[in-house]
Amino acid sequence: MEGILPEGFAHWLIQASYFVAAILFIWGLKKMSHPRTARGGVVWAGIGMVVATVITFAEPGMHNYLLMTSAIFVGGILAWWTGKRVAMTDMPQMIALYNGMGGGSAAAIAAVELLRVHTGAGLTHDAFAARELAVLGALIGTVAFSGSLIAFAKLQGWMRKVYRFSGQQVLNGLIFLALIVLGFLLARTEFSSGAFYAFFVLALLIGILMTVPIGGADMPVVISLYNALTGLAVGFEGFVLQNPAMMIAGIVVGSAGTLLTQLMAKAMNRPISNVLFAGFGTGDDGGSGVEVTGSMKAIDPSDAAISMAYAEKVIIIPGYGMAVAQAQHKIWELTQELIKKGVKVSFAIHPVAGRMPGHMNVLLAEAGVPYDLIYDLEDINSQFANTDVALVIGANDVVNPAARKDTSSPIYGMPILDADKSRNVIVVKRGQGTGFSGIENLLFFEDNTRMCYGDAQDVAQKMIAGVKSV
Amino acid sequence: MEGFIALYIFMLAAFTGYEVISKVPVILHTPLMSGSNFVHGIVLVGAMVALGHADTTTEQVIGFIAVLLGAGNAVGGYVVTERMLEMFKSSKEEG
């Protein structure tokens, strides 16, 4: 686009725009971390993105504008269309998918730059450690790309099996070693297309191999980790291209994503190393050391409704089972009926309820539940002791007292919602089996627990009728 | 760019990311992950520059893929984040 703007002015304008974009990204993320301002946050960050993208067309010395615009249109429209259509329950895998695209893009940038170094046209010679960073970004971005796609396939239900074979970790180690050697060759020696292609193929492979053995329950942590990795890859490619908006946005996301990953792993009591290098939910450590005593006692939905209608305080604990049954709207209706009767109702959300932290909040928000009725684990756990009824609906492991009592349980040490401490517990559940993780839930056998079997939506409907009849 | 300047940028940006997230309530974890996923959609800008300087056909093909994926990341990330955050309402607000 030489000629439209004098080169000096174009350079200044581009740098100024990237600066503004970087500020808007950080400010937007900051606003996104509070519920009241969150929506404005994403809009500001969006403005930053538009500013940065538009001004990039003015970058001097570029060609291929037709290819560029058509790629933006095709990619943008496809993503817009899928993003608008996806159901809220499927949000986690969509995030994984878009994140994989970002990782793939960063890796592809690295590939172009490495090829350009080879043809001698590289703009990367003057940048600090440009080839090393390009290689590193390529590796991280490619792993995030193939890993995210596997995570997407798993959450979408296209890949139900957990693949594991003996010697897997040795194989991963060998591939990783090969990647280091190839990366060194690419960064430091004469270009060889054999090393170039082998590097990318192996990087794709390691992303797949790392992700296939991980069970669905751990996927949120994995997606968050790949999100952080993509950020890092983008940041590294930003250093390669000397693009400050990419450097700052990428590294900010890299570190924010790492912290978010840690928070999630902590909430699930699953150290990140365990998630990546050990299996979970495969049943090889399902034995429980504490004897299960007592029996499960059933209750009718209408009886359960009456005990809630006469309660002073009810806490609802929703889990992914509720979302699968699409019962959140009915539950909100039930809540409104209870509030009309003068019952104080709150929602207690475990950090990993749903498919990832905060996912349940999104699902409840979709049903119209105001966020100030919704409480985190730390805020509500002390309140169970003076609660009349805890209504557990579609949740299982997050209310299992085995996490407190049974040192041999795989979930021992995981913070749980202390539903068992309330005076009465009503559990809405489809059948008598164990949940997602296959662990027996001690709560179901407690004296103050009543089981209400049936489809969550159905049960909620009957409960609404029950409350109305009081 | 001089190595140490690059390192300073890296360090300060890393601290900023950490600080921005450190006080976020759990209810916003998923939208925020989605929001940060959108922010690294800035990769689109780099992809445009890479494609803009691509000469050989191989470079053009890879550059095209880079822009395609980058645009998908940015647009998709924005749409889903916006859709999620749109639903967060307080009981004091109407509608």
A36 touches chain B (CB under 8 A): yes
Sheet strand arrangement including A344-349: A374-376, A344-349, A313-318, A389-393, A424-429, A449-453
The H or E element containing residue A233 is: helix A219-241
**Chain mean position to CA B53:** 23
CA distances from A455 to A33, A161, A327, A393, A444 (A): 35, 26, 9, 10, 17
Q: Enter the tokens of residue A418.
A: 């202390």
CA distances from B75 to A77, A100, A150, A254, A257 (A): 8, 13, 21, 19, 19
CB of A455 closer than 8 Å to CB of A433: no
Interface test with B, best of A20, A23, A33, A54 (most B CBs within 10 A): A33
Burial class (CB in 10 A: 0-12, 13-18, 19+), A20: middle
Q: A-chain residues within 8 Å CB-CB of B60?
A: 64, 67
| Active site (catalytic) residues of A | 397
Q: Would you list the DSSP string of A278-289?
A: S--SSSTT---S
- Can you name the CATH fold of A301-469? Rossmann fold (3.40.50)
Across the A:B interface, residue pairs with CB atoms under 8 Å apart total: 398
SS3 A470: coil
Query: What is the pTM assigned to this prediction?
Result: 0.81
The H or E element containing residue A452 is: strand A449-453
Q: Which residue ranges make up each domain of chain A?
A: 1-85, 90-284, 301-469
SS3 B54: coil
Model ipTM? 0.93
Interface test with A, best of B4, B18, B33, B61 (most A CBs within 10 A): B33
The H or E element containing residue A197 is: helix A193-211
CB of B45 closer than 8 Å to CB of A49: no
- 470 residues of chain A, pLDDT tens digit each: 445 667 788 889 999 999 999 999 999 999 988 888 888 999 999 999 999 999 999 988 899 999 999 999 999 999 999 999 998 888 889 999 999 999 999 999 999 999 987 776 655 455 667 889 999 999 999 999 999 999 999 888 887 777 777 778 889 999 999 999 999 999 888 888 899 999 999 999 999 999 988 877 778 889 999 999 999 999 999 999 989 999 999 999 999 999 988 887 877 767 777 777 765 444 344 444 555 667 788 898 989 999 999 999 999 999 888 887 888 899 999 999 999 999 999 999 887 777 677 788 888 888 889 888 999 888 899 999 999 999 999 888 889 888 888 877 777 778 889 999 999 999 998 877 665 566 778 888 888 999 999 888 899 999 999 999 88
